[in-house]
Chains A and B, each alone.
Chain A
């Protein structure tokens, strides 16, 4: 038997998911994360999961892993001391940081002055210059470079980044500096901007390269440790890491380009959501992953997550391809408050975190949180917390009461409903960023909710977005690990061209794309995949000449023929106009311009069988555990409470109802019903729409 092992390391828990490739049978294991060296917790979890499942570790053929090591290094400011080499005259590129100050007109008054990721003390400049078309204007001087690198050696830098002006057009000076660095700074890892991000815009390229250098040491050490520990434990399975764009790469490749891992964790959630929704027969999805402090949302079209070219972690934004995940500070721990001056009800972005946590966790927290509001409303019955955490209903009520008093509401339940409405609205705002703001109508999508808190808020967000059905996947708390285990190896290669269409022809574009594909295939072939199993897709970032933003457009290479009719460029032009019209409702007469060409190569999708539930009747009575009073829409309702593990395919749960399982709780609102799909998902729809909507199911 062969097993795939998905591993997701969160701030508090490490989730392990062991999947039998043949049967789809899964074993889950949750263990405490070990932040000082995550590989300890991972290995412990793997061993425990295998033992519990009675599976010898030697039968684990693949270890698939979403990691937050890179993310945490950024968030906790614990990366390497990075040296930076710039072109003379541009030493302060990170200090100036495009001159941007966030916030409104008076925002500068309260904005803290940020410290650059590479300290100015550790930044040197070299005398050289290339032009924007790649010609060398001032030659690089080896002696000057050595002098500057020795300064950095003296400063004790732990990683080196090199980012010269216009290196996207000609990286030879950067490459030479890297060679000299190998002599002057032996053993210090080097990140080169023309390799990490060969794209125009010096600040964005530099910060991305520095971020890469900043996290590289930790990622590299972590991957090395983990590989060693896996080998020592007799696990011969191949280790792959999930990148921010949702593709898997080998551990080595990940360690070489760690800036592409910053959203590895959330990407696992989205790929997991895709997998679960596909099992349930849906292809176009909005996803939301709600945890303790924040919610990540994304949009999936035809089972493919929308990809963005920027990655944001905390205050840091870099140019790195990632699943277009937007994060909003709305989680179970988000604190509700009422500023005295305006009397408005605000929820978040401050969070009670794990310590002291919501008031109802009775760990010292007293401020009212979203979780406390859910407790007050009866959505989280205390006896159903899975035994891990007893919920203090009284403490929740006391905390929420402070809000009721501050906004002058009679009942504590009304205040709790207000808190839930506000936090749902904040999540809705994030969902609009990826849907309506990108020209997509949310009603054309299904909504997949996961994370510890997602299923509680899912039905309400279905009402706000009109995205039906709302899908609650099986094991919503460990969906990231599912995503890690069910996606494919992937790599990509890109080149910035910035050429107007009149300066291009089909043969030239075809040549560029084929070169890119060959480059992108290298790592997958090195990982042992066969050439014939690889799938290549192409895209190009286009704009009207003169615009500052590009729109990514899929490219069909077959339309780029050698016949000289430039049918490929013509087709590309038409696709761009269609997309521009969809997004902005107008077209321009300006010439089209190709900014960046990109090839993405994917390995075969792993064949993982899914769970299949036994069929049951519509009536879910055998799974009914008890009833409980909940407060919805200004009144009390008696809700049925079900045990999710006892549900059968075809059961229909009519709201108001609460479905409980180990790590999550699903709320079905009055007027809605959840159907149990035979692959385990709950599909929630408004009752009047039920008949019409079931046609999209398989």
Chain B
């Protein structure tokens, strides 16, 4: 447990904070949090943070409870695992999930934690982590898809003082940066993260001046309490007492040929509280897909769905945590034993949201969306320039792809969009300016969004033509299981990756690979999943279906999934449509299923090679 050194030791006085002051402080915290984002985006060098925004800020109360933030880290768990003192001017950092109680979940994420002092006492914490493109290790981008231990995943930084009373520890930083392939990126990005935390710190100090430290800290408690009360009401509204709700989804494989990994979640409300139980989920994986998560992060993710939909303007925070109990089995996919490999945990994060969606949707139709949080597919490309003025220079790219947003109660899922907040794609012209590649095609794939009254968003095909020999790596999933449709909607298409070699041959790639050699004029097709459909496709306006045919988002053949017949120009044949719809209605079983997973797991595995070009994974082994 960290020992906090404060020169002011008198107790703070709890004071009443009127609702207006409370809202003023809430707003000020909200703008401080966005200021953190802005500071980092504008100063970072790695495209992953600079262009893609793979970073997560947080401002916490004196105990480390998040008051405002994004998601994905926990200061109390960090402090509980830190041995040593923390005093004014210190800035702490780590990249080791196992040394901070899973406040972060893989070694690419560099976490900075800074105490905010005001008049000699800690009034809060500023914290932010960002995904470093490279942290060393055996493969560029530091995410070997076959890793069995964390030792294969680059430099593992235990919690330490990056700044000690305001002085940076350049020796330690030098040792760390010596391990990585792009030290200038890591240095700039880390500088940006520290600058962002300092910005937050200043804003909190300004509020302590403006409102008084007692009012400020009391307001934080009131904000936490506001969330507590809101969540209490919501839980009672959404969950029937004593009736467990359960949902299961899968990670298709672990990068080492084993899979699928079954992930199960059950939620039961008893009185004011709910229990989120992950029992029944697969044991820890051989490969690096384990998602080491702590109980607080499960609470945080759960809260996002609940509160955001209820009052989108609210600053959701940790205040509701006492209402949520969490059970995570040891040595499982969610809590692997040290030193299990962790780098590819992005699939687990994505699937967690599909689990919440599928589970909460059974209780509350407002929350029932189709599946789409299938993953956060990564693409890496690196090598050395072989000619020109940059001859010999090392290049390295890490980027995130996006797929189809699921069909939703409010309407269609957008095509080729991000489910992650604030993430954007890296522009083609940017990639071509900074990397030896040309993009032949960047389009969504017609019919890849699941059919439904509300269509799932289409997946995306990006065709990268390489201009220099090098190696690539891919991290994706949902190549075997489908993004499921709901309420009669069809599943979305699965993701797929292949290389058209310069010599005319085609190689289908597994969804998790690294160190794949590519040559000049090889073309990689990086095809992401589509979102599942929502509601009965036969109920969709036929004119809209035809319009989407004309737009190239649905094909003529695809229109028939909606029971719609149109000609080559996309003009509706109304008579043929009504007779097709009538015969389709006749031939199907009603009521339509709440969830449509495309096929049984047995059939998916049996047909894997024929349908995907990839052999079915082997059932997971106990580790």
Report which A residues bind B (CB closer than 8 A).
Answer: 88-93, 95-101, 103-114, 119-121, 129, 131-132, 137, 165-166, 168, 200-204, 339, 341-346, 407, 409, 417-418, 421-422, 425-426, 429, 432-433, 437, 498, 544, 546-549, 583-586, 588-590
Q: Which B residues are CB-close (under 8 A) to A342?
A: 226, 229-230, 310-311, 314
What are 22 sample pairs from A and B whose C-beta atoms fall under 8 A apart?
A90-B443, A92-B443, A98-B427, A103-B312, A105-B308, A107-B421, A108-B405, A113-B412, A120-B553, A203-B427, A339-B313, A341-B310, A341-B311, A345-B20, A417-B20, A418-B18, A418-B20, A498-B433, A547-B50, A548-B42, A584-B192, A586-B191
Q: How far is the CA of A109 from the CA of B531 in the complex (A)?
A: 13
B396 shortest CB reach to chain A, Å: 12
Flag if A132 contacts B433 (CB, 8 Å).
yes
Q: How far is the CA of A553 from the CA of B192 in the complex (A)?
A: 21
Q: How far is the CA of A548 from the CA of B313 in the complex (A)?
A: 30
Q: Which B residues are CB-close (under 8 A) to A93?
A: 442
Which B residues between 14 and 72 are near A, CB-CB below 8 angstroms? 18-20, 22-24, 26-28, 31, 35, 38-39, 41-45, 47, 50-51, 70-71
Partner pick for B188 among A90, A105, A341, A544, CB 8 A cutoff: A544
With A421-B20, A429-B27, A586-B195 in contact, do A341 and B424 touch (Cβ < 8 Å)?
no
Flag if A101 contacts B419 (CB, 8 Å).
yes
Q: Which B residues are CB-close (under 8 A) to A417?
A: 20
With A105-B308, A120-B551, A201-B429 in contact, do A95 and B314 touch (Cβ < 8 Å)?
no
Task: Tell me, yes or no, whether B432 is within 8 Å of chain A by CB.
Answer: yes
With A202-B428, A344-B314 in contact, do A121 and B547 touch (Cβ < 8 Å)?
yes
Task: Tell me, yes or no, whether B415 is within 8 Å of chain A by CB.
Answer: yes
Flag if B442 contacts A89 (CB, 8 Å).
yes
Flag if A120 contacts B552 (CB, 8 Å).
yes
Partner pick for A546 among B184, B418, B419, CB 8 A cutoff: B184
With A96-B444, A166-B432, A584-B192 in contact, do A437 and B424 touch (Cβ < 8 Å)?
no
Closest 4 CB pairs of A and B: A548-B50, A89-B441, A120-B551, A106-B308
With A99-B417, A104-B421 in contact, do A89 and B369 touch (Cβ < 8 Å)?
no
Flag if B429 contacts A96 (CB, 8 Å).
no
A77 shortest CB reach to chain B, Å: 17
Q: How far is the CA of A262 from the CA of B367 in the complex (A)?
A: 38
Q: How far is the CA of A91 from the CA of B411 in the complex (A)?
A: 23
Among A101, A429, A544, which residue has the most Cβ atoms of chain B within 10 A?
Answer: A101
Q: How far is the CA of A590 from the CA of B28 in the complex (A)?
A: 34
Q: Which B residues are CB-close (under 8 A) to A111?
A: 414
A268 shortest CB reach to chain B, Å: 28
Task: Tell me, yes or no, whether B198 is within 8 Å of chain A by CB.
Answer: yes
B104 shortest CB reach to chain A, Å: 17
Partner pick for A343 among B20, B226, B411, B422, CB 8 A cutoff: B226
Flag if B429 contacts A165 (CB, 8 Å).
yes
Among B19, B187, B405, which residue has the most Cβ atoms of chain A within 10 A?
Answer: B19
Q: How far is the CA of A44 from the CA of B17 in the complex (A)?
A: 54
Q: Which A residues are CB-close (under 8 A) to B418?
A: 99-101
Q: Which A residues are CB-close (under 8 A) to B50?
A: 546-549
Flag if B195 contacts A341 (CB, 8 Å).
no
Flag if A421 contacts B24 (CB, 8 Å).
yes
Q: How far is the CA of A78 from the CA of B410 in the complex (A)?
A: 25
CB-CB nearest in chain A for B550: A121
Among A99, A105, A417, which residue has the most Cβ atoms of chain B within 10 A?
Answer: A99
A112 shortest CB reach to chain B, Å: 7
Flag if A91 contacts B443 (CB, 8 Å).
yes
Q: Mark B434-448, 1 if CB is under 8 A from A, else 0.
A: 000011111110000
A627 shortest CB reach to chain B, Å: 28
Interface residues on B, range: 35 or more
Flag if B19 contacts A346 (CB, 8 Å).
no
With A498-B433, A590-B188 in contact, do A546 and B234 touch (Cβ < 8 Å)?
no
Please give 16 more A-B residue pairs, beta carbons under 8 A apart, in addition to A417-B20, A589-B184: A92-B552, A101-B405, A107-B308, A108-B405, A109-B367, A110-B312, A132-B432, A200-B430, A342-B310, A343-B19, A344-B313, A422-B23, A546-B188, A547-B44, A547-B50, A588-B187
Q: How far is the CA of A575 from the CA of B301 in the complex (A)?
A: 44
Task: Tell me, yes or no, whether B606 is within 8 Å of chain A by CB.
Answer: no
Flag if A89 contacts B443 (CB, 8 Å).
yes
Among B18, B41, B310, B423, which residue has the most Cβ atoms of chain A within 10 A?
Answer: B18
Q: How far is the CA of A443 from the CA of B550 in the complex (A)?
A: 57
Flag if B43 contacts A584 (CB, 8 Å).
yes
Task: Tell me, yes or no, whether B248 is within 8 Å of chain A by CB.
Answer: no
A7 shortest CB reach to chain B, Å: 36
Task: Tell me, yes or no, whether B510 is within 8 Å of chain A by CB.
Answer: no
Task: Tell me, yes or no, whether B233 is within 8 Å of chain A by CB.
Answer: yes
Task: Tell me, yes or no, whether B601 is within 8 Å of chain A by CB.
Answer: no
Q: Which A residues are CB-close (under 8 A) to B39?
A: 584
Q: Which A residues are CB-close (under 8 A) to B414?
A: 101, 108, 111, 113-114
Q: How far is the CA of A202 from the CA of B441 in the complex (A)?
A: 13
Flag if B195 contacts A113 (CB, 8 Å).
no
Task: Tell me, yes or no, whether B576 is within 8 Å of chain A by CB.
Answer: no
Q: How far is the CA of A203 from the CA of B425 in the complex (A)?
A: 10
Which B residues between 378 and 433 are near A, CB-CB below 8 angstroms? 402, 405, 408, 410-425, 427-430, 432-433
Flag if B304 contacts A105 (CB, 8 Å).
yes
Q: Which A residues are CB-close (under 8 A) to B43?
A: 547, 549, 584, 586
Task: Tell me, yes or no, whether B185 is within 8 Å of chain A by CB.
Answer: yes
Q: Mark B361-384, 1 if CB is under 8 A from A, else 0.
A: 000000101000000000000000
CB-CB nearest in chain B for A107: B421
B567 shortest CB reach to chain A, Å: 15
Q: How far is the CA of A344 from the CA of B18 in the complex (A)?
A: 11
Flag if A109 contacts B463 (CB, 8 Å).
no
Flag if B234 contacts A425 (CB, 8 Å).
no
Task: Tell me, yes or no, whether B518 is within 8 Å of chain A by CB.
Answer: no
Which B residues between 84 and 120 are near A, CB-CB below 8 angstroms? none
Q: Which A residues are CB-close (under 8 A) to B623?
A: none
Q: Which B residues are CB-close (under 8 A) to A112?
A: 410-411
Q: Which A residues are CB-close (under 8 A) to B35?
A: 437
With A89-B439, A339-B313, A584-B42 in contact, do A101 and B51 touch (Cβ < 8 Å)?
no
Q: How far is the CA of A429 from the CA of B24 in the complex (A)?
A: 10
Task: Tell me, yes or no, whether B309 is within 8 Å of chain A by CB.
Answer: yes
Flag if B417 contacts A108 (CB, 8 Å).
yes
Q: Which A residues are CB-close (under 8 A) to B185?
A: 546
Among A100, A421, A583, A585, which residue has the most Cβ atoms of chain B within 10 A?
Answer: A100
Task: Tell me, yes or no, whether B285 is within 8 Å of chain A by CB.
Answer: no
Flag if A437 contacts B38 (CB, 8 Å).
yes
Q: How far is the CA of A407 from the CA of B429 in the complex (A)?
A: 52
Task: Tell me, yes or no, whether B151 is within 8 Å of chain A by CB.
Answer: no
Partner pick for A101 among B27, B42, B421, CB 8 A cutoff: B421
Q: How far is the CA of A339 from the CA of B420 in the complex (A)?
A: 26
Q: How far is the CA of A4 from the CA of B371 in the complex (A)?
A: 62
Partner pick for A344 among B311, B417, B442, CB 8 A cutoff: B311
Flag if B460 contacts A96 (CB, 8 Å).
yes
Q: How far is the CA of A590 from the CA of B415 in the complex (A)?
A: 38
Q: How far is the CA of A89 from the CA of B463 in the complex (A)?
A: 9
Task: Tell me, yes or no, whether B338 is within 8 Å of chain A by CB.
Answer: no
Q: Mark B560-596, 1 if CB is under 8 A from A, else 0.
A: 0000000000000000000000000000000000000
Q: How far is the CA of A101 from the CA of B442 in the complex (A)?
A: 18
Partner pick for A422 among B24, B45, B429, B553, CB 8 A cutoff: B24
Q: Which B residues are CB-close (under 8 A) to A114?
A: 414
Flag if A341 contacts B42 (CB, 8 Å).
no
Partner pick for A432 among B31, B187, B233, B415, CB 8 A cutoff: B31
With A100-B418, A120-B553 in contact, do A110 and B410 touch (Cβ < 8 Å)?
yes
Q: Which A residues are CB-close (under 8 A) to B460?
A: 96
Partner pick for A202 among B28, B314, B429, CB 8 A cutoff: B429
Q: Which B residues are CB-close (under 8 A) to A119?
A: 551
CB-CB nearest in chain B for A110: B410
Flag if A548 contacts B234 (CB, 8 Å).
no
With A99-B425, A418-B19, A584-B192 in contact, do A544 and B45 touch (Cβ < 8 Å)?
yes
Q: How far is the CA of A203 from the CA of B185 in the complex (A)?
A: 26
